Amino acid sequence: MVLVLAHDPSLVAAAKAAIAELGGRPPLVLGSEAEVLRAVVASLTGFSHLILEDGDLPIDQSLIDAVAEASPAAVILLLTPEAALSEHGAFLRGLLGGTRLMAHDAKRASRNSNRLQAGLQGNSLLLRYQPIIHVRTRRLVMVEALARWRSEPVALTPVNFIPAMEQMGLSRPLAAAVTRIAAWDLSRMPGHSPIPVSVNLPAPELDKRDVVSWLGQQLKRSRFPRHRLMIELTETTPVRDLSRMARTLRRLKAAGHGVLLDDLLLDDPRKRLLRLDFAGIKLDRSLVQSLPKSARARNQVHAMAKRGLVMTAEGVSCPALFRTLRFLGVARAQGFLMGRPLPVAALPAWNDRWRSAQGLPSQGLKASR
């Protein structure tokens, strides 16, 4: 489903024509942000795209937040009627999901890039932390730092602004900002030592020889221990040189950083990477949620457990799935069953509530070994 919030007839007509050309359902055309919010709340299946008219009035950030929570994979297109008509091909590519940020001219692209860079230096980037627990002991072992964007001029959902930054060459500034903020947040948490945290990093940045140096620079001010910072190798860019990646992993391990292979799928073509010295593997939510019904999925996970690979299951949402993970030998779990991504200030309250529900003794927020 595609939602359209626009008043200009030419933009609405262009949207309808593009979607019809793709063989999709007619879009739901809405006249106000309140109508969009009602549609978002009422939708049981979510929607794929939200097309907004780029007019004189700014888009309310609460609308973007609601879209991000209801349909995390939705693509937001911020269009002028003229651009929708004059760049029909780009408009279609956007509807296909190939374009995350529709920048219709060099000036607009430059403005968006400048805003994103300025936002990284300001307060536009903030983090949420999702708990990761040990399956057998049910104790907190780590949190994952998840980036969120709160800059009003840039209408992007959390899942979409990261690809936009990568396209603009801002992968390292983003990763540096996430690392710096996470280290500062968690170094001030109560407990005997800072809780471990994982941050995402694409292969091209992980492979650079100065990666250890610039990661250390982000930790310097907060004095966050290196061994508490884990790196998640994202799947956005394929790893082509195994020997080079092996050297990178050894260099990071020597500096104290473990590296996790993120979002492993069923029959993932990246399985050849499992020969390398990763500190652990994160199982994609699609693989995890297929475990109860798929013998092939269970066999793959069980085989990795027998090899001694430390696995973290993402997207764990119900007790039955949690029990399946324990049976298969999956070490760690992450998902809404344990906790949603939280502001750092909410982590102690979550920890107290979680420990109480599991019958664990009360204590300050710290990770079990």
The dihedral through the CA atoms of 233, 132, 73, 294 has a sign that is positive
Residue range 316-335: mean pLDDT, rounded? 94
Q: Give the pLDDT confidence score for residue 267 in this predicted structure.
A: 87
How do residues 78-102 score in pLDDT, each as one tens digit?
Answer: 776 666 665 555 566 556 554 444 4
Q: Give the pLDDT confidence score for residue 104 in this predicted structure.
A: 39
**CB environment 108-121: b (16+ within 10 A), e (fewer):** beeebbebbbebbe
Neighbours of 209 (CB within 10 A): 9
How do residues 190-215 score in pLDDT, each as one tens digit?
Answer: 776 779 999 999 888 898 889 999 99
Inter-residue contact 148 to 127 (CB < 8 Å): yes
If you average pLDDT over each of 23-27, 31-35, 348-352, which comes out highest?
Answer: 348-352
At 110, the amino acid letter reads S
Q: Give the pLDDT confidence score for residue 103 in this predicted structure.
A: 39
Ordered alpha helix ranges (H), 122-170: 158-167
Q: Is the pLDDT score of 109 beyond 60? A: no
Mean pLDDT of the chain: 82
How do residues 157-195 score in pLDDT, each as one tens digit?
Answer: 556 677 777 777 888 989 999 999 999 999 988 776 779
Q: Which domains does the chain have, with CATH numbers?
A: 2-104 (3.40.50), 125-357 (3.20.20.450)
Inter-residue contact 222 to 183 (CB < 8 Å): yes
Q: Give the pLDDT confidence score for residue 102 in this predicted structure.
A: 40
Distance CA 115, CA 168 (A): 12
Inter-residue contact 112 to 86 (CB < 8 Å): no
Q: What percentage of the chain carries pLDDT values higher than 70?
A: 78
